[in-house]
Amino acid sequence: MRLETTQQKPTLLMLSDRFPDPDGDQRATRAWRLLCCASVTHRVYLSAVADKPVNLSLWRRVAKRVDRVQIAAPKRPWKEASPFSGDVITWTNTQNFDALLATNPSAWPAVFPGRISTAICDFTFDKTDSKPTIAGLYQRLWPRKQVELTAARRSQIIAACDRALVATTEQAKALIGAGGKVFILPDETVSKAWSLLFAGAQIPVEAPTPTVLHVKPTTLRHAA
């Protein structure tokens, strides 16, 4: 848990397909960059899938940036791991989150938790192949059906999210159906771009000009 006081910040539920790691693979480093940005603007509740054991040093680095952290149950031979499980269900049932961030469509919850103002999904590694699994080999027996399901799921997530993140202009052009929801968050300038992501919700409201009424002064009553 974070030591500094962050009660004044809005809350964000981060669901990650990789445990954030600045020294990990591309997905893990992307998740780390997103976590670093999110922890500046929000109180982060993190649930992440770890594709390898998490050492104590990395755990502490991540824990300093979040209010809560959970490592999702590991993959099973016939089923992919989901970060929206375990304690996360309790989190969403006991408090309202201002924002939801999924680091990959595979991390998007099957049942969307309600009462979330802004939902964001990162599509940067949407088409990156993962390590072969028995489930993956089994599904390839019906490649056409699998492609149809993937396309339908992608369209469903794009429709449900408020922002679809990508890292490059080429990825933005390739994300069919996202339209105005696409927001480019380059790895090189991720912090600057992240600050603009929530800028629309932080526009100050101009205070109305007070109206001065001229009132006739009253005479003070003297004590008897």
In this structure, what are the phi and psi dihedrals at residue 166, rounded to the nearest 5 degrees?
A: -140, 170
DSSP string, 71-128: EPPPPBTTB---SSSTHHHHHHHHS--SEEEESSGGGS-SS--SS-SEEEEE-TTTT-
Quote the pLDDT of residue 209. 36
User: 3-state SS of the chain: helix, strand, coil percent to 5?
Assistant: 35, 15, 50
Task: Give this prediction's pTM.
Answer: 0.78
Task: Identify the bridge partners of residue 191 per DSSP, sorted by sequence position.
Answer: none
Quote the pLDDT of residue 34. 98
Quote the pLDDT of residue 112. 85
All residue ranges of the chain with pLDDT < 50 are 1-6, 128-139, 201-224
The single-letter DSSP state of residue 160 is H
Quote the pLDDT of residue 198. 80
Per DSSP, the three-state class of 9 is coil
Spatial strand order in the sheet of 163-166: 68-71, 43-48, 11-16, 99-102, 118-122, 163-166, 182-184
Query: Cβ(71)–Cβ(87) under 8 Å?
Result: no
